[in-house]
């Protein structure tokens, strides 16, 4: 009975082994040739790839500019959001300038008062100069009368005293006018200094371009020359990408590239490799935390795009570099 059970168990196993063995022996030469061909194709693709994938991000062809104030203050208004396009001279951020505005109003009032005082001094000077001219004519007439013995000499003494007084008044008005003119120049210098400080409270776009990012928010306090944001000048776009070290020598300047969204198959742009670094790098440009890439060796490249209208600055993309090498 036990023998029958053993045979019943062993027989199916034996038959299955025989079937597998027979199928494996069918055409051994053909199977080995196929495996060898696949290995040769894989090695050939690795050594001479037709297409190399590289991860990268969209950057402006010109270097991005750092935006900062020359003075400190509290952020009053931010006029543009990240990603918005601006024109040269557009106000981007304004710091609170209440102090400078009040100083300008006070200086304007002082200049207006100075202007009125100058008008009074100028009028007084003109008045006494006219009085002097009349007194001079009177003096000459009296002098002729005194010389003709028609009047006593004391008459000349009185007019001479009047002339001296008028001359002193005219000189005093001239000195006052001079002091007021000096004061006005000093006030205008102060005014220009305050206006300069006032202009420093306004950050304007250095040219046509795009706000890449802000490092501040409304109501925050900024120090002088503290980074406020980044600005990308208008112009053509590039892809800064990284090629794995195993394919680093296969990428060359002039090769065509297809740009796609990372993880997608739709083509967003085409371009050409315009730069390849002369050495491998240990750090990745694609992550703020480079510690996770510290063992990665990459070759950095740049791809100039023919039309980047469908791409955004900072977008992560995949570049398929066409080596045009036939296997």
- In whole angstroms, give the CA distance from residue 240 to residue 58: 7
Number of domains in the chain: 3
- In whole angstroms, give the CA distance from residue 79 to residue 131: 62
- In whole angstroms, give the CA distance from residue 283 to residue 241: 12
Better-predicted residue by pLDDT, 310 or 193: 193
Better-predicted residue by pLDDT, 11 or 277: 277
Tell me, yes or no, whether 28 lies in a domain. no
Whether 47 has a pLDDT exceeding 70, the answer reads: no
Give the DSSP per-residue string, 120-160: HHHHHHHHHHHHHHHHHHHHHHHHHHHHTTSS-THHHHHHH
CATH of the domain at 316: 2.40.30.170
Q: Are residues 111 and 90 in the same domain?
A: no
Q: Are residues 191 and 254 in the same domain?
A: no
Q: Is the dihedral of CA 151, 156, 162, 166 positive or negative?
A: positive
- In whole angstroms, give the CA distance from residue 228 to residue 223: 10
Tell me, yes or no, whether 221 lies in a domain. yes
Q: Tell which of 189, 212, 231 closes a domain.
A: 231
CB count in 10 Å sphere of residue 313: 20
Distance in angstroms between the alpha carbons of the first and the last residue of the chain: 66
> What pLDDT is recorded for position 225?
95
Q: Are residues 244 and 303 in the same domain?
A: yes
Instruction: Using pLDDT thresholds of 50, 70 and 90, give the confidence band for residue 168.
Output: very high
Q: Tell which of 214, 231, 248 closes a domain.
A: 231
Query: Within 13 Å and on the Cβ side, how many CA atoms surround 254?
Result: 2
- Which span out of 1-10, 33-42, 99-108 was modeled with the highest average pLDDT? 99-108
Q: Tell which of 177, 200, 223 closes a domain.
A: 200
Q: Are residues 107 and 177 in the same domain?
A: yes
Q: Are residues 214 and 243 in the same domain?
A: no
pTM surpassing 0.95?
no
Q: Which residues pair with 93 in a beta bridge?
A: 78, 203
Q: What average pLDDT does range 227-251 have in this prediction?
A: 92
Q: Do residues 160 and 132 lie in contact, with contact meaning Cβ atoms separated by under 8 Å?
A: no
Tokens of 88: 């040269």
Predicted confidence (pLDDT) per residue in 50-84, tens digit: 899 999 999 998 888 999 999 999 999 999 999 89
Tell me, yes or no, whether 37 lies in a domain. no
Q: What percent of the chain has pLDDT over 70?
A: 81
Question: If you search the block for the tokens 């990408």, which residue do you land on?
Answer: 241
Better-predicted residue by pLDDT, 174 or 263: 174
Tokens of 189: 């210098």
pLDDT averaged over every residue in the chain: 85
- In whole angstroms, give the CA distance from residue 240 to residue 210: 18
Tell me, yes or no, whether 38 lies in a domain. no
Instruction: Using pLDDT thresholds of 50, 70 and 90, give the confidence band for residue 41.
Output: low
Instruction: Using pLDDT thresholds of 50, 70 and 90, give the confidence band for residue 230.
Output: very high
Whole domain around residue 216: which residue ranges? 65-95+204-231
- In whole angstroms, give the CA distance from residue 48 to residue 1: 66
Q: Are residues 180 and 271 in the same domain?
A: no
Tokens of 307: 């039309």
Q: Which residues contact 265 (CB under 8 A, 6 or more apart)?
A: none
Better-predicted residue by pLDDT, 327 or 91: 91
Tell me, yes or no, whether 8 lies in a domain. no
Q: Are residues 173 and 105 in the same domain?
A: yes
CB count in 10 Å sphere of residue 86: 20
Q: Are residues 69 and 215 in the same domain?
A: yes
Question: If you search the block for the tokens 């802000």, which residue do you land on?
Answer: 214
Q: Are residues 238 and 109 in the same domain?
A: no
Better-predicted residue by pLDDT, 286 or 225: 225
Whether 4 has a pLDDT exceeding 50, the answer reads: no
Q: Which residues pair with 275 in a beta bridge?
A: 302
Q: Are residues 147 and 183 in the same domain?
A: yes
Whether 321 has a pLDDT exceeding 90, the answer reads: yes
Better-predicted residue by pLDDT, 168 or 35: 168
> What pLDDT is recorded for position 314?
85
CB count in 10 Å sphere of residue 158: 10
Q: Are residues 141 and 220 in the same domain?
A: no
Q: Are residues 314 and 274 in the same domain?
A: yes
Q: What average pLDDT does range 178-185 have in this prediction?
A: 97
- In whole angstroms, give the CA distance from residue 219 to residue 200: 17
Instruction: Using pLDDT thresholds of 50, 70 and 90, give the confidence band for residue 202.
Output: very high
């Amino acid at each position: 009975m036990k023998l029958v059970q053993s045979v019943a168990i062993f027989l199916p196993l034996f038959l299955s082994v025989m079937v597998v063995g027979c199928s494996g022996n069918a055409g051994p030469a053909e199977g080995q040739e196929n495996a060898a061909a696949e290995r040769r194709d894989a090695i050939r693709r690795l050594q001479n790839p037709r297409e190399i994938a590289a991860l990268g991000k969209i950057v402006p062809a010109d270097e991005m500019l750092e935006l900062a104030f020359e003075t400190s203050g509290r952020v009053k208004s931010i006029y543009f959001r990240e990603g918005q396009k601006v024109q040269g001279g557009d106000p981007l951020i304004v710091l609170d300038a209440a102090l400078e505005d009040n100083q300008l109003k006070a200086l304007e009032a002082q200049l207006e008062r100075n202007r009125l005082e100058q008008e009074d001094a100028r009028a007084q000077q003109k008045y006494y100069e006219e009085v002097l001219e009349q007194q001079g004519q009177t003096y000459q007439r009296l002098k002729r009368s005194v010389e003709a013995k028609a009047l006593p000499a004391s008459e000349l003494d009185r007019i001479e005293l009047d002339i001296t007084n008028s001359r002193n008044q005219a000189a005093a008005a001239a000195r006052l006018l001079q002091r007021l003119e000096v004061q006005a120049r000093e006030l205008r210098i102060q005014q220009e200094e305050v206006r300069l400080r006032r202009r420093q409270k306004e950050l304007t776009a250095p040219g046509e371009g795009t706000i890449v990012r802000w490092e501040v928010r409304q109501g925050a306090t900024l120090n002088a020359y503290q980074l406020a944001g980044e600005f990308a000048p208008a112009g053509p776009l590039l892809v800064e990408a990284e090629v794995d070290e195993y394919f680093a020598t296969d990428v060359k300047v002039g090769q065509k590239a297809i740009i796609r969204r990372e993880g997608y198959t739709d083509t967003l742009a085409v371009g050409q490799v315009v730069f390849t670094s002369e050495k491998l790098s240990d750090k990745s440009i694609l992550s703020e935390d480079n510690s996770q890439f510290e063992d990665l060796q990459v070759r950095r490249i740049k791809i100039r795009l023919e039309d980047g209208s469908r791409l955004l600055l900072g977008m992560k993309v995949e570049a398929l570099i066409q080596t045009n090498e036939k296997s």
